Structure 1
Amino acid sequence: MLLVFLLNLREGWLQAKGCWDLEGCFSCPQDELREQLTCFCALKLVSAGAKTAARPFEYGRTHVVRPKGRHQATIVWLHGLGDNGASWSQLLETLPLPNIKWICPTAPTRPVAVFGGFPCTAWFDVGDLSEDGPDDVEGMDASAAHVANLLSTEPADIKIGVGGFSMGAATALYSATCFAYGKYGNGNPYPVNLSAIVGLSGWLPCSRSLKNKVESSQVASRRAAALPLLLCHGRGDEVVLYKHGEKSAEVLRSNFQNLTFKTYNGLGHYTIPEEMEDVCKWLTATLGLDGSCS
C-alpha cells in the first residue's frame, strides 16, 4: 500500500513539474520511476527508527517571479510534499498575470511520518493527507510564520495573498485561519493582512478546532467572512482524495463565506491549463488587477 501511495504521489509531483503539451495538459517522462521508489521505500525502512531531527528546520531557497507590469499584488506560492519552489516558479512565470509578484519558497527537509520518518521537503509533519490526520501545529505555525515574514516587507499599497498545491494548499488554508483568528496556533499574533487564498488539491488542517476558534470572536468571524478563498480539486485525485477537498470546503464555508470551490472531472493530483486559467480569472477579479487572463 505504501509503494502504491508513493507512486501516486510521485506521479502527481512529476506531472506538476512537467511541461504543457499540445493537447493542453501536463505530460512528463516516467522513466525509472518504480526503481527510484523501490529505493526510496528501502531508505524509508532504514530511517524509520531514526531519531527525529531537532527543530528549528532550515528553509530552502526562495524563488521570486517579478511582475512584468505595474506591481499590484504579491502572492507566496507553496509547493507540495517533496517538491521545491523552483518548479512552481517556472509555471507561475508563464501565467498572464503581469501585475503579480510571486514568491516561491522551499520547505525545510524534515522527517515525515507518512513516509515512515524518511526526510523530504515538507511544510509540516503529516501522517495522513486529509483533514482527519493528526495536526503538527508547531510545524504549521513555523511555516505560516515564514510565509508571513516573506510578505511583511511588501509595500503597504500592495495586496497580499497565499496559495499552494497539496501540502502547500494546506499551509495556505492554515494561514487563512491564523489570519481570521488573529493568532497562530501557539497564541502569537498573526502580523499580515491577507487579501486572497488559493488552494489546489489540498486539505484543511486543524479542521476540528477551526469552528470554535473563529466563532468565539466577532472580529475573527468578520475577517473570515471577508477573506476570498478559491479551492480547486480533481475528482480523480488519488493522493489527496476528492472527498477530503470537498469536506474541507464545506467546513471552511461555514465561516469563510466568500469561498469558491471548483471541481474537475478526471483530474488527478496535478494541475491542468483549465484549472490555472480559472485561477488567473479569479485572482484578476478578486484582486482588481489591471491585466486580464486570456
Structure 2
Amino acid sequence: MALLPFVDVPAQGTAQAVVVWLHGLGDSGHGFAPIVPELRLPANAGIRFIFPHAPEIPVTINGGMRMRAWYDIKTMDLTNRADEAGVRQSAIAVTALLDKLISSGVPSERIMLAGFSQGGVIALHLLPRLPYKLAGFMALSTYMACPDKLSAEQLSHNKNTPVFIAHGTQDPVVPMAAGQQAYNTYKAAGFNVSWRDYRMPHSVCAQEVDEISRFIQSRLINKAEV
C-alpha cells in the first residue's frame, strides 16, 4: 500500500513530536493546515503537523461524485452513515502512516491523532484498536463507527490515553447527540475521554482552537495529564 500523501508543516525548532490531523469529507490536508499558526504554540514547541489527504472516491450521497473521503456515505442515517469497509481501509492507511513515523524514530507516545468529521470517525475507530500507545486523540464534530464491535475488538494500549471530544451545539451535519453518544460509549468502556461543546455549526471556533492548543501542549510539551 502506498503511503498517504500529506501536507507537512514543519516543527518550530527541533521536531520532538507529531500531530497527525485528518480532514473531513470533500476537504484535503490543505483545509486544516492554516490552523497551526492559530494555535499559537510556543516558539520552541518542536511539534510537526501532518495533514494527510484522503483518497478520491465516489460518494453515494453526492450522486457518486468523486471527492476526497475516508469512506463512502450511502445514507445520512447516522446508524449506517459510515461505510464500515471504507472506515477499516482508511484505518489501515492511517496506521501505516503512524507506523512509518514510528519507524523513522518518533516514539508512539510523542504522536497525537486528530480528526474532524469523517477524519474524526477514523481517529475514534483507531483509538481502541492501535497496538501501541499515542500521546492523545482529538475527535472534532464527529461520531462513532461500529459501536457494537467495540467490546470485541478493543485493545488496552490507549485505555488511559487522554481523548478530547468536541462538538458544535448547532451542527446541522453531524448532530451533537451523535458526538455525545460516542463520548458516552467510550466512557462506559473505560477510556479516558473528555467532552466539550461550543455554540457553533459544523466547524471550529476560536474558543475551541484555544482549548485544542492547551490540549496539544499538555500532551506534547508539558506532558501533564488532562
Q: Using structure 1 for the length normalisation, give the TM-score.
A: 0.67
Partner of 1:253: 187
1:224 Cα deviation after fit: 4.1
Higher mean Cα deviation, 158-167 or 130-139?
Answer: 130-139
Partner of 2:147: 207
Secondary structure of the corresponding residue to residue 145 of structure 2: coil
CA RMSD of aligned residues (A): 2.3
Provide the rounded CA distance (Å) in 2 between the counterparts of 1:60 and 1:120.
15
Looking at secondary structure, tell me which structure has more strand per residue.
Answer: 2
Larger gyration radius, structure 1 or structure 2:
1
User: Percent identity among equivalent residues?
Assistant: 27
Partner of 2:211: 278
Q: What is the one-letter code of the residue matched to 2:211?
A: D
* 1:231 corresponds to 2:150: no
* 1:287 corresponds to 2:220: yes
2:56 corresponds, among 93, 109, 123, to: 109
Work out whether residues 131 and 204 of structure 1, in 8 Å CA contact, stay in contact via their aligned partners in 2. no
Report the CA distance shift for 1:149/1:93 in structure 2 as closer, same or farther (over 3 A).
farther
Provide the rounded CA distance (Å) in 2 between the counterparts of 1:113 and 1:200.
23
Provide the rounded CA distance (Å) in 1 between the counterparts of 2:147 and 2:87.
13
Deviations 1:36-63 (A, max 9, x none): xxxxxxxxxxxxxxxxxxxx9x887410
Partner of 1:87: 31
Q: Using structure 2 for the length normalisation, give the TM-score.
A: 0.85
Partner of 1:162: 113
1:157 Cα deviation after fit: 3.7
Secondary structure of the corresponding residue to residue 19 of structure 2: strand
Looking at secondary structure, tell me which structure has more helix per residue.
Answer: 1
Work out whether residues 10 and 48 of structure 2, in 8 Å CA contact, stay in contact via their aligned partners in 1. yes
Provide the rounded CA distance (Å) in 1 between the counterparts of 2:8 and 2:161.
24
Structure 2: segments with no counterpart, 5+ residues: none
How many residues matched?
Answer: 216
Structure 1: segments with no counterpart, 5+ residues: 1-55, 183-191, 215-219
1:196 Cα deviation after fit: 1.0
1:213 Cα deviation after fit: 2.9
